[in-house]
Amino acid sequence: MYYIVWSEVIYMFHNKKRMMYFFIFVSFMIIFSLIWVDKTFSVQSLNQIIYHTKFTSSDFDIGIFYDYLIKVIPLSMISFLIVLGIIAFVKKKKYKNIEHYYPYICIMTIVASLTIACLRLNVIAYFTHKSESTDFYQTHYVNPEMTNITFGENKHNLIHIYLESIESTYVSKDNGGYFDESLMPELEQLALENIHFSHQEKIGGALTLEGTQWTTASVIAQTSGITSSLSIDNEKYEPGSSFLPGVYSLGEVLQKEGYHQEVIMGSNADFAGISNYYQQHGDYEILDYYKALEDGRIPKDYHVFWGFEDQKLFEIAKEEITRLANEDGYFSVEMMTIDPHTPNGYVCEQCPKIYDNQYKNVIACQSHQVYEFVQWLQQQDFYENTTIVITGDHKSMSSQFFSDFDTSYVRTPYNCIINSVVSTDHTKNRSFNVVDMYPTILASIGAQIEGDRLGIGTNLFSHQQTLLEKYGLDFINNELSKTDSYYQRKLLGLKKEQLSR
């Protein structure tokens, strides 16, 4: 059998039908890639895939690439060789003219793989929705640049920490989570002791809207009050390319107010348009992995996971916040953790091995590190007039971790606001999304917002209903899946000839 299979391999590369064999192999690649994606990521939105293809930076965790190579290539090759073996065996034993069936075998495998891909990514539904138009943004979008936003004397500095993939799901069942014992007791405690908005009576969080399910999209939503949607015919974005020119963000509001602004992250800020967004919308100073290398904050050859781990992120943040606090004026610092990133997270030297599961240990470690950082902030002189906002960026994409979960349990990103200028009793049983954090964060540091709405978000401290509370999740997600010419023209800045048909 070995000789027969090997002869088929030789035949493949010397016969005119070798392209058919190639397509059969590619079909297996597609199928096993989809299986791998399903086990590794819980968000397989075509919208998300299209978005990421528009940015040129390829920096990501090399471990994910190796995981893909190990789990997809061998299985594809083995399956392919099995097919070759079957074809060779059948040809030798019974059907001498099986070559005539090669085109049909090729077509069947290609059709099967593409069908699986279309079903898995809801391709047909995506293009069906995109063929429809909506005036959702024209009807509901409130232009922040045209809205009266004022600050009184009691305004605060802002420290906003985006926690990679951290959900309220990880708290104890007694307090609304999924686990008998909390995986993140410190973050659970912070939510109980401070302002926490929930979709239920206990600890919960924001419901998921289309176009907010990945990090950059969530950042844009939380600071601009819009969802993210790029069409296939959008041009590619280079570092420095004009990005969302029609957006007026939290960063621009605070820039106008005179805040010193900085964003700190352990990965490459050019990934998925983060640097474009922060530089063009608030002129933030960016301290990412490459800037840390340039400044000598980490050794020249240092690289773990996506760049440097959260242990170093919090150390660098302490230095930068102290520097900003010693300068005249107010400051705004945005921080992005990375350790809990899919598929299994990164275990640093500080992480205790409490559980047999690596991802659980990473979650527990993240909770402890954030809590220690908050405690440090609370001991500083500037804390009295500083608001700390902690939000999960999106639901975890490590679908294998949730494979045995009850599907009726509603998973939501974590949120907590500490030392807010304003307060409210209306924090429970709210139907909201991360777009609502934009006006809510501004209100928490002392801003008064005319109408209490910015973008498509609503100030959760106010008595205004959110759009989700008015119209429901399904209706809004359906509208966001359609083509919105106002969104394309006003926010993306597309010209008439560039608009999606």
String of DSSP letters for 416-454: EEES-SS--S--SS----GGGHHHHHHHHTTEEEGGGEE
| Range in 132-146, 342-356, 444-458, 467-481 with the lowest mean pLDDT | 342-356
Asked if residue 6 has pLDDT above 60, the reply is no
Eight-state DSSP code of residue 413: B
What is the model's pLDDT at position 24?
Answer: 79
Q: Where are the alpha helices (DSSP H) in 121-182?
A: 123-130, 136-140
pLDDT of residue 113: 76
pLDDT band at 391 (very low <50, low <70, confident <90, very high): very high
Once rounded to an integer, what is the mean pLDDT over residues 311-321? Answer: 98
**Region of residue 287 (phi > 0: left; psi between -120 and 50: alpha; otherwise: beta):** beta
Give whole-number Cα distances, 462 to 251, 253, 390, 448, 498, in Å: 22, 19, 20, 10, 38
Q: Which residues, other chains included, contact 411 with Cβ-Cβ below 8 Å and sequence gap of 6+?
A: 167, 169, 395, 396, 402, 405
pLDDT tens digits along 336-371: 999 999 888 999 998 889 999 999 999 999 999 999
**In contact, 317 and 264? CB cutoff 8 Å:** yes
Q: What is the pLDDT of residues 229-254, one digit of tens each?
A: 886 666 777 777 888 999 999 999 99
Whether the full predicted model's pTM is greater than 0.85, yes or no, is yes
Average pLDDT, the chain: 88
As a whole number, mean pLDDT of residues 210-217 equals 94
Mean pLDDT of 470-499: 89
315 pLDDT higher than 70: yes
Q: How far apart are CA 97 and CA 79, in angstroms?
A: 23
- At residue 431, what are phi and psi to the nearest 5 degrees? -105, 105
| CB contact at 8 A, 212 and 227 | yes
Reported as a pLDDT band with limits 50, 70 and 90, residue 498 is low
pLDDT value at 137 more than 50:
yes
Residue 501 has pLDDT above 50, yes or no: no
Given pLDDT bands bounded at 50, 70 and 90, which one contains residue 418?
Answer: very high
Cα–Cα–Cα angle for 84, 89, 92, rounded to 5 degrees:
125
CA distance 153 to 446: 8
| pLDDT number for residue 233 | 66
Per-residue pLDDT, 236: 73
Which CATH architecture best describes the domain 151-400+420-494?
A: 3-Layer(aba) Sandwich (3.40)
Segment 210-232 shows an average pLDDT of 92
Tell me the percentage of the chain whose pLDDT exceeds 90: 65
Asked whether residue 109 carries a pLDDT value surpassing 90, the answer given is no
Give the confidence band of 60 by pLDDT, cuts at 50, 70, 90.
Answer: low
The confidence score (pLDDT) of residue 398 equals 86
- Rounded distance, CA 389 to CA 179, Å? 25
The mean pLDDT value for 426-454 works out to 98
Q: How far apart are CA 329 and CA 95, in angstroms?
A: 83
Residue 34: pLDDT band by 50, 70, 90 thresholds?
confident
pLDDT at 500 over 60: no
Closest CA to 210 of 275, 143, 134, 278: 134
Residues 6+ apart with CB under 8 A from 20: 102, 103, 105, 106
Residue 377 pLDDT > 60: yes
199-203, 263-267, 476-480, 492-496, range with the lowest pLDDT: 492-496
- Tell me the CA distances in angstroms from 448 to 147, 148, 153, 417, 451, one per residue in order: 10, 8, 12, 17, 9
Q: Which helix (H) or strand (E) holds 186?
A: helix 185-193
**Torsion sign across C-alpha atoms 323, 324, 325, 329:** positive
What is the helix (H) or strand (E) element at residue 142, kind and residue range? none
Between CA 315 and CA 368, with CA 357 as vertex, the angle to 5 degrees is 30
Which pLDDT belongs to residue 13?
46
Alpha-carbon dihedral sign for residues 490, 494, 495, 501:
negative
pLDDT in tens, 272-282: 889 999 999 99
Whether the pLDDT of residue 442 is over 50: the answer is yes
Gap between the Cα atoms of 261 and 234, Å rounded: 30
Q: Note the pLDDT of residue 11.
A: 52
pLDDT attached to residue 114? 77
- Kindly state the average pLDDT of the residues 38-51: 65
Higher-confidence residue: 111 or 386? Answer: 386
What confidence score (pLDDT) does residue 322 get? Answer: 98
The confidence band for 93, taking pLDDT boundaries of 50, 70 and 90, is: low
- CATH 3.40.720.10-classified regions of the chain: 151-400+420-494
Neighbours of 393 (CB within 10 A): 26
